[in-house]
Structures are given as structure tokens and as C-alpha cells.
Structure 1
């Protein structure tokens, strides 16, 4: 991947870059995998009779069991200190907020992913994004990074490197590549590239 280049046009800024064929294929595959995980999560939502009557969508009230999905769809509320009533208050609040907002969050993540998939050249090469598409790329790439980060158990302390014989060493390289792709696009959006 080459650095992003910001170009001012009559229709607003455009962001240009080039992806090698293997980079485009990898990015498209990873984003499609995240969409598949979101689709599975949405499909696991219990049927709600009120939704059928009112048309108001609801989602799962329980957090995901999978660490990757839990990272993509975290709790809304975390207690800062122990509540006298125990953790039931936070769990109840999270369940209510999750069931109300998770469908919209999944839709937004899916929309960003779809914009990336539509604008990413299937066989690599030069391409150009609008400001809206660039924002969608940042969101979709972030979701992939969150997924990989959960799998690699990346926290504030790293890891920066894994031994080459480690089974996840290649995944860490991909995570770092996505970090650079996202960072350079953010800088281009801010007009700093």
C-alpha cells in the first residue's frame, strides 16, 4: 500500500492510494469476515413480538460470549465503583441499552464495511475515495483491527512482535499493516499528508 494522497477537487477532497492485488484481496476477505460475524450475531437475536407489532427492532440483551464480538459490541456501561446493590444494576442497564441499540450499531458497521467493499479495487490498483467513503474505510478497518486485536490479545502493553514460529505471527503483521493503513488515511483526512 502506498501512502494516501489528499487531492482537493470541485466536489470536495478526494483520497487516493494504491493497493497491491494481495492487499486488496486480504482487506476484502477480512472485512467480509467481520460482516459475517455481525450477520451471525444479528441472526441470533431472539424473536420479539413487540417488534412484529411496532416495527421497532430489538437485538440481543446479553453480551456476546465470543471475545471478538465482545470487542466489536462492548457493554454500554461500566461501573466505576462497586454499587451497594451489586452488579445487577449495571447488567440490567447494559441489557436494556444493548437490546435497543445493538441493531443500529450492527447496521452502521455493516454499512461502513459495504462502502469499503464497493470502493476497494477487487484486483488491486489505484483508487480514489470521497470523504464519506474515507470515513467508512476508517470505521471498517477499525472493526477488523478490533477483531484481530481481540484474537491476538493485544492490550496497552503490546505485543509489538511475536517469534516468527508463533502461529499468530502473520496475524500480528496484518494487524500492524492495517494500523498503518488506517493512520495514514486519518492523517490525510486531517489534511496532514
Structure 2
């Protein structure tokens, strides 16, 4: 993938433009498709709520995901800050779990919708096989959301942390390729963020 560039149309509208080769297009399409499947499965497994059906209020899971990747992508909505003023009075233990369950049930469906919509934008704006990617500012924001989700998911699977930027050592011959994909996604994200920030500073 080439560097992202900012281009302006005849009416001054801004576009973020790059080029992708066939292997890159196929890789992104496959990764995004897997991500959408994860979100679909999570949504489809939510418990049925008769009250929500009567009120029209969508609800989702009250319990956090069991899968480590979804735990990373759909973290708890409430986490106490031990250093914050009044931290001693903050909910903890069972009360904090109940609060998280209520917040998750009410908000997780919208979070999944937003992440899935961003993923669908990426799929819709990818070239068929190879070529130019041209994004509006709104589409570029969706790319940031989706690419970040992809790298978080892959980084979780690989055990990548700040202290282990390549993850724990392994004898798996295919692992190096997955680590390379993680760093490629990170570089794509960093460059697009940088270009968008430069655009905002103009």
C-alpha cells in the first residue's frame, strides 16, 4: 500500500487517496469479513428480552464476551479509576459487575452496529482486485475505526503487548507472517491518522 495522500476536487471537497495491490485487497477483505462474522455471532447470541421487545429498546448481552478477541474489542463500559477523586466511594466488586452488566446490555448493540458499519464501509470502498482507494472524510474515519479493530484483534491473538511488540517467541513458522500483517495494519493506521491530522491543521 502506498502512502495516503490528500486530494481536492473541483469544488474543494477533500479525498484521502492511496493504492493497493491484489494481495493487500484480498487480505483486508478477508480480515474484515472475519471481523463482521465475530460481531454478527455476538449479536445473534444475545438473550431474548420480552420487555425490550415491548418497549422497542434494543438490549444485548449483560455478560462480557468469553472470547479474548471480543473482550478486547468490547471491553467493560465502567472501570474504576483508583486515582480519581472520590475513588473510595466508586462502585466495586459485585456492584461494579452489576453496573457493567446494565451498561453493556443497553450500549453494546449500538457499539456493535457502529463497528460493523465501519467494517462495511471498508468493504464497500475497497477496489475490486487492485487499484485506487478514494475516501471521503467520513469514510476515512470508518477506515480508522475498522483498521484499529483489526490490529487489536490480531494483536490479541498474537499476544502482542507494549513490552512484547512481536508477541512471545514461538516455533510456529506461520507466526512471523501474521506479525508482519499486524505491523502493516499499524503502519497503515499511523499514516492515515497523520494525514488526517495534517489536513485538520490546514
CA displacement 1:52-72 (0-9 Å, x = unmatched): 111110000000001000000
Q: Which residue of 1 aligns with 2:66?
A: 65
Q: How far apart in 2 are the matches of 1:157 and 1:93?
A: 32
Secondary structure of residue in 1 paired with 2:129? coil
**How many angstroms apart in 2 are the aligned matches of 1:11 and 1:43?**
43
Q: Paired residues, what number?
A: 192
Return the alpha-carbon distance in structure 2 between the equivalents of residues 45 and 110 of structure 1: 16
Q: Which residue matches 2:182?
A: 175
5+ residue gaps, structure 1, are none
> TM-score when scaled to structure 2?
0.88
**1:86 positional shift:** 5.3
Instruction: Indicate if the aligned counterparts of 2:19 and 2:133 stay in contact, CA closer than 8 A.
Output: yes
Matching of residue 156 in structure 1 with residue 157 in structure 2: no
- State the distance in 2 between where 1:86 and 1:166 align: 44
Q: Does 1:16 align with 2:17?
A: yes
Alpha-carbon distance between aligned partners in 2 of 1:118 and 1:14, rounded to the nearest angstrom: 16
Q: Which has the higher contact order (CA 8 A, sep 6+)?
A: 1
1:140: which partner in 2? 146
- Structure 2 portions without partners, runs of 5+: none
Q: TM-score, normalised by structure 1?
A: 0.92
What is the correspondence of 1:81-100 to structure 2 with a 5 Å cutoff? Answer: 81=82, 87-100=93-106
Of 160-169 and 33-42, deviating more is 160-169
CA RMSD, 1 decimal: 2.0
Deviations 1:53-94 (A, max 9, x none): 111100000000010000000001123349798510110110
Structure 1 outlier segments of 4+, above 6 Å: 82-85
